[in-house]
Structure 1
């Protein structure tokens, strides 16, 4: 059982780092479509802060709010619940697969937190 629980530390770590970096970006450079060039002063890192109200590449941005809520909150929530249920119930996953699934769950939950608690959209950068 310990082998099944330990990868969820990765899930928690991903959620924590995801939210901390999003809070940092959105408070340091508020607004949408903010282009931050030359973060370290040497052209090493450029950041573009965008609020995504849809899915990848802003697909579905023009959909009605009820449809967006269904597609971008309810469906991912159900998929994550099924994934977590499968993860807990199965003994067929290898250790690497368990850690990979835990990482995917962390990323999915991080985006769901944004979709539910940030009405301006998911913080992307």
Structure 2
């Protein structure tokens, strides 16, 4: 049983490292190859690479905050939350695999963006999607990781909810 616990921790840390690594490699390439506000469009201008340094959080929220509020809200609380989340998934063992991987992706994306904020003073964003009514803000690989993680958690919750309703229906018959 002890060996399974070690393998589980190693898998969690490897997926986390892979997630953070993909984010940081992509941002490093963008930082070295693109100038701020350089624009490269693809797929009929629906996908754009555009380097932007975001000094706030999601959609630049908090970028105008003064210190110490800025430090507390954009650095200290995220550090504590991400470390707490990582410790939680390392200690708690009864996660469904979809939820576990979802949480790992969310933590990895958060750590990737937090690393940027601490090391560079801003988060490098560089992707934008525009399909008319559907349009995103400018985002990065860490943001994609967070969205995939949230999606996995939702899918797991939906599957559990559906299974629970099916079992209730069978029990009522």
Normalised by the size of structure 1, how large is the TM-score? 0.86
Unaligned regions of 5+ residues in structure 1, if any? none
Moved over 3 A (4+): 42-45
SS of 2:56's partner is coil
Q: How does 1:1-125 map to 2 (within 5 A)?
A: 1=5, 2-31=7-36, 34-38=37-41, 43=45, 45-119=47-121, 121-125=122-126
Note the C-alpha offset of 1:4. 3.7
Q: CA deviation at 1:69?
A: 1.0
The 1:44–1:60 alpha-carbon spacing in structure 2 relative to 1, beyond 3 Å, is closer
Structure number with higher helix proportion: 2
- Asked whether the 8 Å contact 1:18–1:110 carries over to 2, the reply is yes
1:115 and 1:84 map into 2 onto residues whose CA distance is 19
Q: Which of these two proteins has the greater Rg computed from alpha carbons?
A: 2
Aligned mates of 1:13, 1:101 — CA distance in 2? 14
Give 1:44 shift. 6.6
Structure 2: distance between partners of 1:117 and 1:45? 28
User: Which runs of 5 or more residues in structure 2 are unaligned?
Assistant: 127-173
Tell me the matched-pair count. Answer: 121
Q: CA deviation at 1:108?
A: 1.1
Kept in 2: contact 1:4–1:98 (CA 8 A)? no
CA distance in 1, matches of 2:87, 2:26: 29
